[in-house]
């Protein structure tokens, strides 16, 4: 059992746990499923490293609270947050807590397998080079940097527009430029990148 093949599924929904277990085993992952967050948290110190597929709404402990309690063990359990009720503030909190990805239910089989592979690859990879992240940020215009700071705080486009005194459409244009220049596919990835550069979020 190695870090590049082990997946821990934490979800109180038996159907989801079972379907994810069957799916991931068909791709030759070693899968362990937990129906409660505290069950995993209690066992994690004795577990091998592996990807953590973690639902937000689990009854005994909120998934984000569980992730925060993992503390400095994030590098052993690169976490993918699963939720059917996603929003930007939740994504920001998840990234700050150490999640490396954030997926909305329902998701396709191919999407979740790709996320798991990406998580395990990041677990084995070297840490992000802060100089390279700083160079990406340096390429932003002053206005794009302002938009970035607001995005990392989890603010919606219309709120950013009001705060900066510009139109929502202008924010959308700057946001697209920020995503492109920061090489991020979504806000969760953008937050993860900027937090890696120790920006004030």
CATH number at residue 19: 3.40.50.2300
From first to last of the 201 residues of the chain, give the pLDDT tens digit.
Answer: 444 689 999 999 999 999 999 999 999 999 999 999 999 988 888 888 889 999 988 888 888 889 888 876 656 788 898 887 766 777 777 777 778 888 888 889 998 999 899 888 866 654 444 446 777 888 889 999 999 999 888 889 999 999 999 999 999 989 988 988 888 878 777 877 776 554 443
For strands 51-55 and 6-10, give the pairing: parallel
Q: How many residues does the structure list for the chain?
A: 201
Same domain, 119 and 136: no
- Residues 63 and 105: their CA atoms lie apart, in Å, by 15
Q: Find the CATH number of the domain harbouring 186.
A: 1.10.10.10
If one counts the domains in the chain, the total is 2
Q: Can you tell me the distance from the alpha carbon of 178 to that of 165, in angstroms, rounded to the nearest whole number?
A: 18
Range of the domain at 44: 6-124
As a whole number of angstroms, the distance between CA 6 and CA 65 comes to 22
Name 174's Cβ contacts closer than 8 Å, sequence gap at least 6. Answer: 143, 144, 147
Residue with tokens 């920006």: 199
Beta bridge partners of 80: 53, 101
């Amino acid at each position: 059992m190695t870090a590049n093949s082990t997946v821990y599924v934490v979800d109180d929904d038996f159907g989801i746990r079972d379907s994810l277990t069957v799916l991931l085993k068909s791709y030759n992952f070693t899968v362990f499923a937990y129906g409660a967050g505290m069950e995993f948290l209690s066992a994690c110190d004795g577990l091998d490293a592996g990807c953590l597929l973690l639902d937000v709404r689990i009854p005994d402990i909120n998934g984000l609270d569980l992730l925060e309690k993992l503390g400095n063990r994030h590098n052993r359990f690169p976490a993918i947050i699963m939720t059917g009720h996603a929003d930007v503030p939740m994504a920001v909190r998840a990234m700050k807590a150490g999640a490396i990805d954030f997926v909305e239910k329902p998701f396709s089989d191919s999407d979740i397998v790709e996320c798991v592979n990406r998580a395990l690859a990041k677990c084995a990879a070297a840490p992000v080079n802060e100089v390279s992240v700083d160079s990406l940020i340096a390429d932003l215009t002053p206005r794009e940097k302002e938009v970035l700071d607001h995005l990392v705080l989890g603010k919606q486009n219309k709120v950013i527009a009001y705060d900066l005194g510009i139109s929502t459409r202008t924010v959308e244009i700057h946001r697209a430029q920020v995503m492109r220049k920061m090489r991020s596919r979504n806000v969760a990835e953008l937050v993860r990148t900027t937090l890696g550069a120790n920006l004030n979020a």
